[in-house]
Amino acid sequence: MSDKTKKRVSDYNPTGFPECEEIDIKDILGKEVTIEDIVFTTGQYGEFSFIKIRKEGDKKSSAFACGGAVVIRKLRAVGEEQGFPLLGVFTKPGDYYDVA
Condensed to tens digits (0 to 9), the pLDDT of residues 9-26 reads 555 555 578 889 999 999
By C-alpha distance, which of 49, 42, 43 is closest to 64?
Answer: 49
pLDDT at 45: 84
Task: List, for residues 70-93, the tens digit of each pLDDT value.
Answer: 999 999 999 999 999 999 999 999
DSSP result, 13-24: -SSS-TTSEE--
Sheet containing strand 98-99, edge to edge, reads: 21-22, 62-66, 46-55, 32-43, 86-91, 98-99
Phi-psi region of 83 (alpha: psi -120 to 50; beta: other; left: phi over 0): left
pTM, entire model: 0.82
